[in-house]
Amino acid sequence: MYAPIVLVWLLNLGISVWNAYAVGKAWVETKHAGGWPRFMAWMGAVMSACGFSWCYLLVLTIVAREMAWLDDDHFRMALQLGYILIIPAVLISGLMIMLDSWARAYRMRTIGSIGSAAWNTYAQIHNTYHAIKDLDRAFASVMKTLEGSSESSSPGDKKGGAAALILVFVLVIVAILSGILTTAVIINRFAGEDEIPGESANP
């Protein structure tokens, strides 16, 4: 049942780890350089944090569903709310990364730079298409679940619905904060490992 989800989850996790690692290796250099390189380092960090956040949210919501802490409606709401909060940052950072990869491919004209530009273009088109297609439905589904929880006729149902809503918001917040923290830890771990070009060791 979860096999396709696991494969996509592993892919997203791997990409997020690589993004954070690459940003970390360039973090100190871009801090000194400033300007566009520094901006792109932040875009890479944002993309990494979004990827980690989504991975964490998926695990947290599946565990909550399997433990019967969330019903199907609130399970979907947690994923859709996370998507609504994460996708704007993914689209903005992805657009900047795509444009930067185009510029690199134009300047370098190597197989690696062209392949990177092609992948970033595909990812941006894919994410934009699904955002246009799914974002309004995600909003509608979240609002429907909120209305359903508030309009429950039984006091017991209202109490259970309120508890489920609180858990949904907690899971989303924890996932996003954990994604940001994971990215920061990886960046800090690898930042400053490489010598800044042009700098020599003290005699």
Check whether 147 has a pLDDT greater than 90.
no
Place of tokens 């940001």: 180
Q: Taking the C-alpha atoms of 97, 101, 103 and 108 in order, what is their torsion angle to the nearest 10 degrees?
A: 150
Q: Which DSSP helix (H) or strand (E) runs through 106? A: helix 72-108
pLDDT-derived band at 165 (thresholds 50, 70, 90) equals very high
* Mean pLDDT over the full length of the chain: 88
pLDDT of 154: 58
The residue count of the chain comes to 203
**Can you say how many angstroms the Cα of residue 39 is from the centroid of all Cα atoms in its chain?**
18
Q: Above 80 in pLDDT, residue 155?
A: no
* Inter-CA distances, 125 with 46, 80, 119, 132, Å: 18, 20, 10, 11
Report CA-CA distances (Å) from 132 to 55, 87, 94, 144, 172. 22, 11, 15, 20, 22
Q: Among the ranges 4-8, 176-180, 191-195, which has the highest mean pLDDT value?
A: 176-180
Query: What is the reported pTM?
Result: 0.87
Separation in Å, CA 101 to CA 20, 116, 129 = 17, 7, 20
pLDDT at residue 197 tops 80: no
61-70, 87-96, 155-164: range with lowest mean pLDDT: 155-164
d(CA 112, CA 106): 12
For residue 69, give Cα distances in angstroms to 32, 58, 178: 48, 15, 21
Q: How confident is the model over 75-94, as a mean pLDDT?
A: 96
